[in-house]
A and B are shown apart, each in its own frame.
Chain A
Amino acid sequence: MNDLLWWGISGTDWALIGAGVAAVLGGIGSAVGISVASNVTSGILSEDGTKFGKLLPIAAMPGTQGIYGFIGAVLVLIFFNLLGGQVDLPGALGFKVFLACLPVAFQCLVSAIYQGLTGASAARIVAADQPAPALIFPALVETYAVLALIVTILMLLGLQAAAQAAGAL
Chain B
Amino acid sequence: MRVPFVKEVHDATRYGFAVGKVRVLETRVFRAATYERLIDAPSFDEQRRILSETPYGAFVEGAATADDVEAGLERALDEIYGFLVTAGLPDPVARFFRVRYDYANLRAVLKARLLGVPADDLLVDLGTVDLETITGPTPGLPENLRAVAEGLEPVDGEDAVEGASPIAPERIDAAVERAMFEDILACAKASKSRFLRDLAALEIDIANAKTAIRARRRELDASTLSGLLLPGGELEVADIQGAYELPFEEFIEVLARAPQLKGVSAQDLLDAERLDVATDGLAVRFLRSGREVAIGPEPVIAYVMAREAEVRAVRTLLIGKLAGLGPDALRNRLREVYV
- Residues of A bordering B, CB below 8 Å: 32, 35-36, 38-48, 113, 116-117, 120-121, 123-124, 127-129
Contacts and interface: CB of A to CB of B under 8 A. Distances in A.
Interface stretch (B16-24, B60-68, B178-186): B16-24
Given A120-B294, A128-B23, A43 B16 contact: yes
Interface stretch (B7-15, B71-79, B153-161, B201-209): B7-15
A117 B294 CA distance: 8
B9 A123 contact: no
Nearest to A38: B16
Contact of A36 (B16, B22, B23): B16
Contacts of B20: 39-47, 123, 127
Given A42-B17, A46-B20, A36 B27 contact: no
A106 to B, nearest CB: 12
B302 interface: no
Given A46-B20, A123-B23, A40 B295 contact: yes
- Residue with the highest number of chain A CB atoms closer than 10 Å, among B9, B20, B23, B294: B20
Nearest to A40: B20
B82 to A, nearest CB: 16
Nearest to B295: A120
B24 A40 contact: no
Contacts of B13: 35-36, 39
Nearest to A118: B294
A120 B5 CA distance: 14
A36 B295 contact: yes
B9 A36 contact: yes
Nearest to B11: A36
Contacts of A38: 16
B25 interface: yes
Interface of A, secondary structure class, is: helix
Contacts of A45: 20
Contacts of A121: 294-295
Contacts of B8: 36, 113, 117
A147 to B, nearest CB: 21
Contacts of A47: 20-21, 24-25
Contacts of B12: 35-36, 39-40, 116-117, 120
Contacts of B22: 43
A32 B9 contact: yes
B: interface residue count bin? 10 to 19
Interface of B: 5, 8-9, 12-13, 16-25, 27, 294-295
A136 B163 CA distance: 72
Nearest to A43: B20
Contacts of A43: 16-24
16 contacts: A36-B8, A36-B16, A39-B17, A40-B23, A42-B16, A43-B19, A43-B23, A46-B17, A46-B20, A46-B21, A48-B24, A120-B16, A120-B19, A120-B294, A121-B295, A123-B20
B295 A113 contact: no
A39 B24 contact: no
B24 A44 contact: yes
A53 B292 CA distance: 25
A32 B22 CA distance: 22
A44 B21 contact: yes
A43 B12 CA distance: 11
Nearest to A127: B23
Contacts of B294: 117, 120-121
A78 B20 CA distance: 43
Given A40-B17, A43-B17, A129-B27, 19 more contacts: A36-B13, A39-B12, A39-B20, A42-B20, A43-B18, A43-B24, A44-B20, A44-B21, A44-B23, A44-B24, A46-B17, A47-B20, A113-B5, A113-B8, A116-B12, A117-B8, A127-B23, A127-B27, A128-B27
